[in-house]
Amino acid sequence: CFSTTNFVEKSHPDLLNEAWVWNVFDLYFLFVYFCPALYLCRDFRYKRFAERLAQLEEAEGAFDYFTLSYRSFGIQRRSDNGLVLREWAPGAEAVFLTGDFNSWEKQSHPFTQKEYGKWELYLSPKVDKSPAIKHLTKLKLVVLTKTGEYLFRISPWAKYVTKTLDAITYDWTHWDPPQPYQFQHPRPPRPSSLRIYEAHVGISSPEEKIASYRNFTRDVLPRIKDLGYNCVQLMAIMEHAYYASFGYQVTNFFAASSRFGTPDDLKHLVDTAHSMGITVLLDMVHSHASSNTEDGLNYFDGTDSCFFHGGSRGNHSLWGSRLFNYSSWEVVRFLLSNLRWWMEEYHFDGFRFDAVTSMLYHHHGIGTSFSGNYSEYFGIHVDEDALVYLMLANHILHKLYPQCITVAEDVSGMPGLCRSIEEGGLGFDYRLTMAVPDKWIQVLKEVRDEDWDLKNIVQTLTNRRRGEASITYAESHDQALVGDKSLAFWLMDKEMYTNMSALTAMTPVIDRGIQLHKLIRLLTHSLGGEGYLNFMGNEFGHPEWLDFPRKGNNESYHYARRQFNLVDIEHLRYRQLYAFDRDMNLTEDKYGWLAAGQAAVTTLNQADKVIVFERSNLLFIFNFHPCNSYIDYRVAVEHAGKYKIKLNSDELQYGGHGRLVQDTEFFTEPMPFNGRAQSFLVMPTHVSLNKQMCS
């Protein structure tokens, strides 16, 4: 990675970008005049969104009030300490409240039925003026069904649920602390270059246990800051009964998981991250819900169609979970208010929306191979209600919180996902480039690295929708899970337990693995998108997969942890990978290639295994050859001047071989090469080939 130091500072328009502007115009012309069905479909989607928004504002006064319904549903304490409880249970015959406060009398506190399936209960203050239900009281709703059955339920709006070790289901624990947490730090400015550290609180300790919010705040946030990530994406925060579900079987949408600590502990985590200038995203699961009944939303009012579609449409055939009915007024109220809750109550800065593909299509992506044909994105197989819900969510979030960040996990490649709603898009800020980690795993599994097709790899990294920002990653939590392998494991698992000490000679397996681990990550970081993501521990080549305690492993926590202690041992090579990841991020922070336009690849030499490209006034040179170093290798550049090395993966501190002197200067010549007017020769100062690697 090189930088030039003596040309005009102002960025010049890239010829590729200028060509792209005309391409967009041409494509729009074709889209409008030769594909009227697609144009009308885009217009139809915006019209449905506008109609839904107008209906919402007319009926509720304003979307701001409608989306703050968590302030009127559930339990609300008035200024005089009287309590008002409101629930929506359209299929119920009667609703009661029971708990510690009334010795669990089942019918002593009945709700009053209101319009549209709503139920209300008022509890006056006690004689001493304190609330009738005190903080941390255990509660249950009792729902009498039309068939005469009594069901014990947790309020969908419950803010805190807890479970003892020997219990099967969660308890609704009333959260109303006498001294609510007060945030001390404002949200940081939205990063122009988004570098995301994907994290799971429970596995954030080297110890074989469930780690806490406090542990994460104390031990992990400083590492994230040191590594140069400016955003942390927290997974599995919304309460989920089954730990091994990775948080994707949500039972209680307004409750922060109590297995990691209290709501105040999570608020302290977010507040501390903000004090460090770190943006905090929440992994948001609005695509489906747990099928649990006693501590989930399923059959809340005794019917299968309260929050979800009734019948088979309301069940995900692969995940065994329930599917929301996005056409329901009250479901939209619940979900939009859920977004506002996490933004207002916990001060999150945005969301990564999980399983958007499942939301967008009636087939949920099951058994579907997306080729990119427009017929796959427009038609009766698209769930327009879900699509309009996502448009509403993005509209409201960005109107109320202009700095909010929304990221879509979509494998289908839905056009317009990250375009503005006014253009007929869905309004997301970024999409995840899910094909990239799949490509890296594929080549590591199926092809020897000396036979890699670099053209195919570069095509995968650059093949993204123009004008729609992408978050790219070499590996996420998916690749770390048991049943797959992380990049480090694919590269070095045969020797990771025996040969990662820098006190012994580097073996060919470890040598090649360390070098490729760095190159794969930097190539993905610099060529693949407008944002970058890394899953916790992968930055230093975590030596083991991730496996939550379950019956299949005798409920073991041995693999449900991240061994950050390995980085703190000076003679282990994990420290070298950590150092490279840190300096890669810090270099991006200085030069901002993620915020720049797409790179221009000038050299893609399959025989030499060399890739050269320009981005953000930087020149990137990659040599993937297993044994060849090159002397006097000519590279093309757009700008004349002096170039200096800014990041060198071959430095000794990164586990490299030190074949380049860091302060070497390179001067361009007016010699046209590979479509550029300028070029220069790259020559190693020291050449020490490892011939064993060529055997």
Tell me how far apart the alpha carbons of residues 623 and 608 are, in angstroms, rounded to a whole number.
8
DSSP string over 78-112: -TTS-EEEEEE-TTEEEEEEEEGGGTT-SSSSBPE
Bridge partners of 96? 110, 142
Helices marked H in 348-383 — which ranges?
356-360
Tell me how far apart the alpha carbons of residues 595 and 526 are, in angstroms, rounded to a whole number.
10
DSSP string over 597-621: PPPEEEEEETTTTEEEEEETTEEEE
Tell me how far apart the alpha carbons of residues 671 and 212 are, in angstroms, rounded to a whole number.
59
Strands 405-408 and 350-353: parallel
Tell me how far apart the alpha carbons of residues 648 and 653 are, in angstroms, rounded to a whole number.
10
Identify the residue whose tokens are 């140069």.
228
- b/e per residue 224-238 (b: at least 16 CB within 10 A): bbebbbbbbbbbbbb
Q: Going by C-beta distance under 8 Å and a sequence separation of 6 or more, which residues neighbour residue 535?
A: 198, 199, 473, 475, 476, 477, 479, 480
- For this structure, is 608 an active site residue? no
Tell me how far apart the alpha carbons of residues 435 and 439 are, in angstroms, rounded to a whole number.
6
Catalytic-role residue among 239, 271, 383, 409: 409
> In whole angstroms, what separates CA 32 from the centre of its chain?
34
Catalytic-role residue among 198, 265, 283, 354: 354
Tell me how far apart the alpha carbons of residues 338 and 395 are, in angstroms, rounded to a whole number.
15
Return the structure tokens found at 695. Answer: 């055997």
Return the structure tokens found at 477. Answer: 């939590």
| CB 445, CB 451: distance < 8 Å | no
- b/e per residue 441-462 (b: at least 16 CB within 10 A): bebbeeeebeebebeebbebbe
Strands 138-145 and 150-153: antiparallel
> In whole angstroms, what separates CA 22 from the centre of its chain?
33
| CB 137, CB 153: distance < 8 Å | no
Other C-beta atoms closer than 10 Å to the C-beta of 177 total 12
DSSP, res 216 = I
| CB 149, CB 302: distance < 8 Å | yes
Furthest-apart CA atoms within the chain: distance in Å = 91
Backbone angles phi, psi at 12, to 5 degrees: -95, 145
Tell me how far apart the alpha carbons of residues 303 and 326 are, in angstroms, rounded to a whole number.
17
| CB 389, CB 333: distance < 8 Å | no
Tell me how far apart the alpha carbons of residues 312 and 310 are, in angstroms, rounded to a whole number.
7
Helices marked H in 313-453 — which ranges?
329-345, 356-360, 384-400, 435-446
- For this structure, is 43 an active site residue? no
Which residues form the catalytic set?
Answer: 354, 409
